[in-house]
Structures are given as C-alpha cells and as structure tokens.
C-alpha cells in the first residue's frame, strides 16, 4: 500500500518570471467557485474551478500568497495539487495603484459597452480587478 506524504507538494512555474520551485508544504487554500478549498496531506482526489482570488500556501509559520485570475485545481490522491491558471502572480509583486487604475478603466468600459462581447470582456476585467483589489486591501 502506498503511503500518503506528510506534506503537500507545491510546484510553481511562473511563465513571465522564469521562476520555478517545488517544495513540500503543509496546506494550500484554493479560491474555488464553490468557496475556499483547503488541501491538506491525504486530501481526497478532487477537481475545482478557480475564481479570481488568492491562493494561500502554508509552509510552517510562513504563508505565501498568489493571485489567480481563473483556472482549475486538480488534487490527486497522492496529495499533489496541480493548479492550472490563466494568470498567476505573487501578491507582493502587484502594484495596487495600477490595479485601481485598471479597475476604473474596466468599470468605464462596462458602462459604455454596446455589444455583448464588449460587456463580457469588460465584466471579466471588473471581476478580476475587483478581486485583486480586495486581496490587496483586505
């Protein structure tokens, strides 16, 4: 019988920063569309759709925060979570003033949108930037 690892394995690859790490962690909290999903060692296999929000990685007393715009989380029976994201960035690398500026721009685009496509694109921008702004301020 295969043993369950004592720690989760969290591997990150950030495309634009050439950063790649893999390490054992204690817990990962995923912003799923159904609510926050806490993944601990021995977690049952599951699939969750991500919503814009903060993914928390707990390792000892340290908590690292990443903002995800959307994607999917696949938790395997061996406590290995695969997080597939459209966009992901360490929260401490985000410029809050730029987020607020872009949120205002997307809000303006939404109010002046005339086609369904323009409305949908603007709404996605508002949703992502609102979630990012909330993550930074609260």
> What's the number of CA atoms in the CB half-sphere (13 Å) around residue 32?
18
- pLDDT 10s digits, 8-19: 455 555 554 444
Residues in Cβ contact with 129 at an 8 Å cutoff, skipping those fewer than 6 apart: 99, 102, 103, 106
* Higher local confidence (pLDDT), 120 or 85: 120
pTM higher than the cut 0.75? yes
14 burial level (CB within 10 Å; 0-12, 13-18, 19+)? middle
- pLDDT 10s digits, 77-104: 777 778 888 888 889 999 999 999 999 9
pLDDT band at 21 (very low <50, low <70, confident <90, very high): low
Retrieve residue 21's tokens: 């790490």
Residues in Cβ contact with 2 at an 8 Å cutoff, skipping those fewer than 6 apart: 78
Retrieve residue 105's tokens: 């721009």
Provide the sign of the torsion angle of the four alpha carbons 76, 84, 59, 28, taken in this order. Answer: negative
For residue 65, pLDDT beyond 70: yes
């Amino acid at each position: 019988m295969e043993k369950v690892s004592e720690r989760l394995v969290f591997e990150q690859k950030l495309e634009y920063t050439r950063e790649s790490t893999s390490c054992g962690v204690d817990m990962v909290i995923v912003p799923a569309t159904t609510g926050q999903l806490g993944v601990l060692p021995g977690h049952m296999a599951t699939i969750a759709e991500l919503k814009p929000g903060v993914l928390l990685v707990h390792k000892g007393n340290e908590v690292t925060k990443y903002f995800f715009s959307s994607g999917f989380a696949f938790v395997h029976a061996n406590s290995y979570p695969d997080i597939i994201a459209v966009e992901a960035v360490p929260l401490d690398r985000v410029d809050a003033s730029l987020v607020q500026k872009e949120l205002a721009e997307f809000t303006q685009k939404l109010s002046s949108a005339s086609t369904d496509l323009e409305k949908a694109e603007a709404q996605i921008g508002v949703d992502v930037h609102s979630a990012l702004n909330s993550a930074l301020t609260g």
